[in-house]
Amino acid sequence: MFNRLEGLILARPLINSHPKKFLEDDDDSWFIEMAYFLDHISYREERRTLTRRPIRTGPLSGHGFVHELLQGHETRAYENFRMTPQMFFKLRDTLIGKGLIADTKYVSCTEQLGIFLHGLGHGVSNRVLAERFHHSGETISRHFNAVLKAIVSLRREYISLPEDGVQVHPRVRCNRQFYPFFKNAIGAIDGTHIPALVRKSKATRYRNRKGWISQNVMAACSFDLQFLYVAVGWEGSAADMKVLRWAMESGGFNVPEDKDGTRMFHPHNFIRKEQGEDIFSI
């Protein structure tokens, strides 16, 4: 009945060329129908309000989940956040100290970082994070992207090539197998393929030789396991040498002047030169 009345009310013209005639025409029935209509709207709103209930009602909130991991055994923290509690707090304090993240009304900085690291370390979806941390998908997405931008803004401070005049690393100098053959070495370069999501029109370019979609990422690390340079964004079909040449010519990967960059391509050649004999002959 309410649906019929609602249809009748909405079907009546609200503008008439003769307002006086419109009001005088069946005034009583008009007001009765309007009363029924308003009562129906009120009933529906009340019913919708009464039937609403929280979606995620687990015993442990997102803040409680992060707190439990950080205060418990460090193995659990490492398995979930891919770093120890000490490193977690150090990173959080750095981001706060630089004004890159801040507490909100419902999500603390600690939980924000926990959401980001858990999602990054396990590659889970927005819905999985929403279920685990008891927040809406919009809240998860907003804080994840905020922490992501904060982390990226630190790249030039923590990822940089060494300057000229780098001393021989103790790992090389104190090892007779490496010194003097690798006395000019300042680190190691390697590449890896990281799974990627791209548009269907670009899938062919990003399909690597193993048949799956990826980015070809090149990185340079020091002997202390610190990243010195990272090149990202290359299609999975790109050859490693192509990525390396781009990095040296256009990507800002500059070898110090006192180091021989050409020897990165053929390390056995300079070992032959330094040793004075062909130690690789068969």
Q: State the Cα–Cα distance between residues 268 and 266, nearest whole angstrom.
A: 6
Q: Do residues 38 and 66 share a domain?
A: no
Rounded to 10 degrees, what is the CA torsion of 94, 78, 152, 127? -120
Domain termination residue (choose one: 121, 156, 191)? 156
Q: How would you list the strands of the sheet with 214-221, edge to edge?
A: 188-195, 214-221, 227-235
Which pLDDT tens digit goes with each residue over 63-93?
A: 999 999 999 999 999 999 999 999 999 999 9
* Single pTM value for the model: 0.65
Domain termination residue (choose one: 104, 133, 156)? 156
* Domain presence at residue 162: no
Q: Do residues 231 and 193 share a domain?
A: yes
* Domain presence at residue 261: yes
- Region for residue 17 given its phi and psi (left: phi exceeds 0; alpha: psi -120 to 50; beta: otherwise): alpha
What does the pLDDT read at residue 272? 46
* Domain presence at residue 216: yes
For residue 204, pLDDT over 80 is answered with yes
Q: Which position has the higher pLDDT, 61 or 11?
A: 61
Q: Which of 169, 193, 194, 192 is nearest to 179 (CA)?
A: 169
Average pLDDT, the chain: 80
Q: State the Cα–Cα distance between residues 177 and 274, nearest whole angstrom.
A: 13
Structural domains in the chain (count): 3
Parent domain of 76: 62-156
What does the pLDDT read at residue 181? 82
* Domain presence at residue 29: yes
